[in-house]
Structure 1
């Protein structure tokens, strides 16, 4: 199967990543189904997409007709079986926990067509671990989009030892079809490329903050002014979700058993307090006050 042959794509999970990935596919003219078990999550996703696309129309990024056409290609449902029973390609975008992802892949194996290809949008977990739940490892890969997917022009496509070249090239072709730059990783490694580099930066930033060398705001300022980063590591954690960072660190710890891979105490404290970043109004920075960060 070639990317041009893909008639229907299903996105599992309507969270901050899933609904925007679904919109990318719909904007490309692909019949797209966005599935989530939570009806409220689907309603919120639809409202966010309508608001975002209306802004795009006002900024002349797309026409009103293009927006309406895209929404005509987008279908939302809580019915998992209905979402996948006639799909060609599935992108899983649920919470960054291996047990939950494996459960999704078990259900996909049961209800999706035998020829369907499965991709995980996991930002850290290699697809071979998730593929254990299905009996088609050659048709499984990672497609790691970056947040926010409607803005960020990069997708890490990752092969396991069992991923076929046809599957990898299909995923790369879909990236091209939806207007994103796909980069193919020939081997699996936890965290892939971008996040491994980011983890190293974030870990060092957290060490410097917790040891009292500088305030987190000043560490962000140095990264922005001296290293020319568009956003500092603490502000980036707020943007991505501090809980996402916590889950990623915990998954690495489960794999290595190395206490050094556990989330930093400050991260754990934020998660326990429910201060997860922009999505909760407070993380490292306070977004509930006028202007936020």
Structure 2
């Protein structure tokens, strides 16, 4: 196994989780973001991850503090990736932003460094030519709350080197993930191929005036015995990602434009981004769907 030092670019909800999970399993981790304000938020987020790791994984405070001690922070991309064996990109789900980022990354990273996008819907082939090293580029997609929802979808392109593909699969296993190899590009990978239509249908029911979010969630939870409904899931994911997904799809699917506008006006513009901001379709830390009488 050649991967020892990992840089995570993008310190949002999932970027921070990827960094902590990787450090928790003994790797040296660098976190890169654009400015000190974002890094400050990341430090607070990472510190807050100690509690769920202790509660859900029964980690000790010494274990989680050791993970934090393995993480360093950078606002200079060159410094962040120098000597890194793997760079995991977790920046906004906007294709031209990712393409520009890889153009810059390819200029400053070491020749041996593997690049992996955590994109949830965009195909790696849409970015690979911007990396300058398509044979050392692929997708490595994590689900939110990765210490519990520990899936890692490793999706290659037609140009990904076989050895790189296998090395990243092993890395995923080494950080405690269920490694799920995907041998052919598929929009949405496996998880989101299944999940995105559900969430999209739920949003369209609400935007179309058919039902309110809580009623949709009650329907799903009662009908399937699921512990959470689609709007609870959206809050966990964070509403920025579904907003960007629907905005990106609006040209091909006009009904998605109404969904994107609904999310923008009612949530994004008001800073209600889901669990991370303590409010989305529900208020946190005690969302209504966890109340005993929610389904009655």
Give TM-score, length-normalised by structure 2.
0.88
Alignment of 1:1-293 (within 5 A): 4-54=1-51, 56-57=53-54, 61-253=58-250, 257-262=252-257, 264=259, 265-270=261-266, 271-287=268-284, 291-293=286-288
8 Å contact kept, 1:93–1:122: yes
Where in structure 1 do 4 or more consecutive aligned residues deviate above 6 Å?
Answer: none
Q: Aligned in 2, Cα 1:207/1:20: closer, same or farther, shift over 3 Å?
A: closer
- Is the CA contact (8 Å cut-off) linking 1:138 and 1:163 kept in structure 2? yes
Alpha-carbon shift at residue 39 of structure 1 (Å):
1.3
For residue 263 of structure 2, give the secondary structure of its aligned residue in structure 1.
helix
Q: Is the 8 A contact 2:116 2:137 kept in 1?
A: yes
Q: CA RMSD in A?
A: 2.2
| Equivalent residues of 1:35, 1:78 under 8 A apart | yes
CA deviations on 1:29-58 (whole Å, 9 max, x unpaired) are: 111111111212222222232233256447
Q: TM-score, normalised by structure 1?
A: 0.89
Seen in structure 2, the aligned counterparts of structure 1 residues 260 and 192 have a Cα distance that, compared at 3 Å, is: farther
Report what 2:291 is aligned to: none
The SS at the match of 1:33 is strand
Name the CA distance, whole Å, in 1 between partners of 2:55 and 2:255: 48
Deviation at 1:161, TM superposition (A): 1.3
Listed one character per residue, the Cα deviations across residues 142-191 of structure 1 (whole Å, up to 9, x for unaligned) are 11100022332101111111112212111111110000011111111222
Q: Structure 1, residues 107-153: CA drift from partner, whole Å, max 9, x if none?
A: 21111111111000111111111112122111111111000223321
Q: Distance in 2 between matches of 1:207 and 1:23?
A: 35
Distance 1:134 1:56 in 2: 34
Deviation at 1:261, TM superposition (A): 4.5
Any gaps of 5 or more consecutive residues in structure 2? 289-296
Q: Matched residues in 1 for 2:39 and 2:269: separation?
A: 26
